Amino acid sequence: MIKALPNYVILQATKIEKKTESGIILPEETKEQLQTGKIIDGYKELGLKKYQIVYYRMWAGEEIKAEDGKKYLIVHHRDLIAVEGGENE
């Protein structure tokens, strides 16, 4: 299993929706500028929960392929913009 170093989070990229789970409608230009991902690791020091959806800057992070064959994105915490949802939602 891959682990995040301090100040970084590991994400699985997700597709951005027109409307967030909390009901916020995103304009078209926002969808082109932001990316979404699901938190996999590195979340505890930032007060986040595993599997929360976060929004991050478009060109942020480095994509890697882990030993398990899955693709992950390693993003510095300063590139995270917003968060929604969590383990129990």
pLDDT tens digits, residue range 45-80?
888 989 999 999 888 999 999 888 899 999 999 999
Measure the CA–CA gap between 12 and 29, rounded to whole angstroms: 23
Domain edges within the chain:
8-84
The CATH classification number of 8-84 equals 2.30.33.40
> Residues 6 or more apart from 61 whose CB is under 8 A from it?
11, 73, 74, 75, 76, 79
pLDDT attached to residue 45: 82
The answer to whether 23 touches 53, Cβ cutoff 8 Å, is no
Nearest to 19 by CA among 86, 84, 89, 87: 84
Query: What are the backbone dihedrals phi and psi of residue 22, each rounded to the nearest 5 degrees, phi first?
Result: -85, 0
Segment 25-34 shows an average pLDDT of: 61
- On whether the pTM is more than 0.75, the answer is no
Residue 31: its H or E element: helix 28-33
Segment 26-47 shows an average pLDDT of: 77
